[in-house]
Amino acid sequence: MRRKLFAAVLVVLLLVTGCATVPTKGTIRSGSREGLAPDFGGVGVEAKPPRDNTPPLALVNGFLEAMSDSRAFDVAREYMTPEAAAAWKPETQTVVYEQKRDAVTSLGTDQVQLKARKIATIDERGSWNPAKVDEPVSFVFKLIKLEGQWRVASVPPGVYLGSNQLDPKLAPRNLYFFTPGRDMLVPDPVYLPVNLSAGQAATQLVQELLKGPTSRLGNGVYSLAPPGTGVQVSVPVEFGVATVALNDAVSPLQDTERRLLAAQIVWTLNQINLRVKITVRGAPLLPDDPDVLPFSNFTQYDPSVPNGAMTDLYGVRDGKVQRIEGLDGASDIAARPLKNSMLTDYPAKSFAVNLRGDSGAIVTTYEGEDVVATSWLDSTDKSDPLRTIPTQGRVLRPSYDNHDNLWILDRADSAKPRLRVRDRDGKAAEVATSFHGDAPLVLRMAPDGVRALLVMRSKTTGDNYVQTGTIQSVTGGRLVLGQLRQLQLPLRDITDAAWNKQGLLIAGTSTSVANAPSVANAPWLVNTDGSRLQLLPGAPSGFATGLLASNLNKDTLPVIRDVQGHLHWQTRDLTWVNMDDDGAPIDPTYPG
At 148-203, the pLDDT tens digits run 999 999 999 999 999 999 988 888 999 999 999 999 999 999 998 888 899 999 99
pLDDT for residue 264: 98
Q: How far apart are CA 46 and CA 295, in angstroms?
A: 36
The answer to whether residue 38 scores a pLDDT higher than 90 is no
Q: Is the dihedral of CA 184, 190, 191, 195 positive or negative?
A: negative
pLDDT for residue 325: 86
pLDDT for residue 517: 55
pLDDT digits (tens, 9 = 90+) for 561-574: 999 999 999 988 99
Q: Average of pLDDT values for 113-130?
A: 95
The answer to whether residue 302 scores a pLDDT higher than 60 is yes
Per DSSP, what are the bridge partners of residue 545? 562
Residue 3's pLDDT band (boundaries 50, 70, 90)? very low
- Name the helix (H) or strand (E) containing 210: helix 198-210
pLDDT for residue 22: 29
pLDDT for residue 1: 38
The answer to whether residue 459 scores a pLDDT higher than 90 is yes
CA of residue 366 relative to chain centroid, distance: 37
The answer to whether residue 19 scores a pLDDT higher than 50 is no
Q: Average of pLDDT values for 361-368?
A: 93
Domains of the chain: 43-168 (3.10.450), 185-301 (no CATH), 308-589 (2.120.10.30)
Strand, coil or helix: 320: strand
pLDDT for residue 518: 53
The predicted model scores a pTM of 0.88
The answer to whether residue 379 scores a pLDDT higher than 70 is yes
The answer to whether residue 332 scores a pLDDT higher than 80 is no
The answer to whether residue 40 scores a pLDDT higher than 70 is no
The answer to whether residue 581 scores a pLDDT higher than 90 is no
pLDDT for residue 519: 58
The answer to whether residue 311 scores a pLDDT higher than 80 is yes
CB 12 within 8 A of CB 559: no
pLDDT for residue 32: 36
pLDDT digits (tens, 9 = 90+) for 235-271: 999 999 999 999 999 999 999 999 999 999 999 999 9
Residue 445 neighbours by CB under 8 Å, 6+ apart: 399, 400, 401, 407, 451, 452, 453, 592
Number of H helices, E strands in the chain: 6, 39
Q: Is the dihedral of CA 202, 206, 207, 209 positive or negative?
A: positive
Q: How far apart are CA 93 and CA 137, in angstroms?
A: 14
The answer to whether residue 443 scores a pLDDT higher than 90 is yes
DSSP state of 63: H
Residue type, 252: P
CA of residue 290 relative to chain centroid, distance: 33
CB 537 within 8 A of CB 35: yes
Output the CA–CA distances (angstroms, integers) from residue 367 to 275, 341, 347, 443, in the order listed: 58, 18, 12, 26
CB 284 within 8 A of CB 291: yes
* Upper half-sphere CA count for residue 498 (Cβ side, 13 Å): 28
Residue 330's pLDDT band (boundaries 50, 70, 90)? low
* Upper half-sphere CA count for residue 466 (Cβ side, 13 Å): 30
Nearest to 174 by CA among 127, 124, 132, 122: 127
The answer to whether residue 416 scores a pLDDT higher than 60 is yes
Q: Which of 27-36, 69-78, 171-180 has the lowest mean pLDDT?
A: 27-36
pLDDT for residue 123: 94
The answer to whether residue 291 scores a pLDDT higher than 70 is yes
The answer to whether residue 405 scores a pLDDT higher than 80 is yes
DSSP state of 262: H
pLDDT for residue 320: 95
pLDDT for residue 69: 87
Return the top range by mean pLDDT from 119-123, 379-383, 508-512: 119-123
Write out 349-387 in H/E/C secondary structure. CEEEECCCCCEEEEEEEECCEEEEEEEECCCCCCCCCCE
Parallel, antiparallel, or unpaired: how do β-strands 275-280 and 241-246 relate?
parallel
Q: How far apart are CA 588 and CA 71, in angstroms?
A: 49
The percentage of residues in the chain with a pLDDT greater than 90, rounded to a whole number, is 78
Q: Which of 183-192, 382-391, 484-493 has the lowest mean pLDDT?
A: 382-391
pLDDT for residue 228: 95
The answer to whether residue 560 scores a pLDDT higher than 60 is yes
Q: Average of pLDDT values for 407-414?
A: 97
pLDDT for residue 134: 86
Mean pLDDT of the chain: 89
Question: Residue 202: what are its φ and ψ, rounded to 5°?
Answer: -65, -40
Q: Which of 149-158, 321-330, 380-389, 579-588 has the lowest mean pLDDT?
A: 380-389
Q: How far apart are CA 268 and CA 448, in angstroms?
A: 17
Residue 380's pLDDT band (boundaries 50, 70, 90)? low
Nearest to 361 by CA among 310, 312, 321: 321
Q: How far apart are CA 334 and CA 110, in angstroms?
A: 72
b/e code 160-197 from CB counts within 10 Å (16+ = b): bbbbbbbbbbbbbbbbbbbbbeeebbbbbbbbbbebbe
Output the CA–CA distances (angstroms, integers) from residue 64 to 61, 153, 170, 185, 450, in the order listed: 5, 14, 16, 38, 39
